[in-house]
Amino acid sequence: MCAEQKSSRHRRISWVCAVLAAACAALWWPAAALGQPVPEYQVKAAFLLNFTKFIEWPANAFADSGSPFSICILGRDPFGRALDDFAEGEAVSDRKLVVRRINESPAAQTCQLVFVDSAGKDLGRILGGFGRGVLTVGEGERFLRDGGMIAFVIENRRVRFDINQSAVEGVGLKISSKLLSVARSVEK
């Protein structure tokens, strides 16, 4: 890797770390210190985007080299425009980032990250239907117990997340130690 590529990569990593640090700081400071509360799903949307920067997907998670990186929302969409706004103009590993809303489990290689609305659903069956190379994100501690990989939780009125590291690695994804270090808990 030439010096210019290293410098560019270092700037991108520094930017991503700064964004993640800012998102985490916004979560840990009381809303009054921010001047106004940040809506919960705007924070979760920012986290979804940042998760893509700290997890490595294998090439076979995509249909071909020109396929976009897709964040899919399965079921009810609690994000509104927030996720679309954050994703606009972004790329993940040189792939255009797109947001899709789906009502059933996606075909292989069409979604790399799936946010699952778990309300009243048979999570074990749904989560078992995703193939390799798909990161599943949902809400609540039940999500991890049912086989999910990253679960948003609310702790002291702040958005946090737990990680099931073995589930992530079990589908061929590599998770950064930096992401693991800011998780509320990590199941191995």
Count of structural domains within the chain: 1
**Residue 34 placed within a domain:** no
Provide the H-helix boundaries in 52-159: 82-87, 123-128, 141-145
Question: 185 pLDDT exceeds 50?
Answer: yes
The residue range of the domain holding 149 is 39-187
Pairing of strands 91-92, 95-102: antiparallel
Give the per-residue pLDDT at 181. 97
Residue 95: inside a domain: yes
> Does residue 188 have a pLDDT over 60?
yes
pLDDT value at residue 36: 67
Which is nearest to 74 in space by CA: 18, 138, 132?
Answer: 138
The answer to whether residue 144 sits within a structural domain is yes
Dump pLDDT digits (tens) for 111-155: 999 999 977 678 888 888 888 999 999 999 899 999 999 999 999
Share of the chain above pLDDT 70, in %: 80
**pTM of the full predicted structure?**
0.81
Residue 122 lies in a domain: yes
Residue 49 lies in a domain: yes
Q: What pLDDT score was predicted for residue 35?
A: 57
pLDDT in tens, 73-121: 999 999 999 999 999 999 999 999 999 999 998 999 999 999 999 776 7
Listed as own residue / partner, the contacts of 10-17 with beta carbons closer than 8 Å and 24 or more positions apart are 16/50, 16/53, 16/54, 17/178
Q: Considering only residues 32 and 185, tell me which one the structure prediction assigns the higher pLDDT.
A: 185
pLDDT tens across 39-65, in order?
A: 999 999 999 999 999 999 999 999 999
In a domain, 132, yes or no: yes
Q: Is residue 32 part of a domain?
A: no
Looking up residue 111, the CATH number of its domain turns out to be 3.40.50
The tens digit of pLDDT for each residue in 145-167 reads 999 999 999 999 999 999 999 99
Question: Which pLDDT value is given to residue 19?
Answer: 42
Q: Which amino acid is at 27?
A: L
12, part of any domain: no
CB 107 within 8 A of CB 74: no
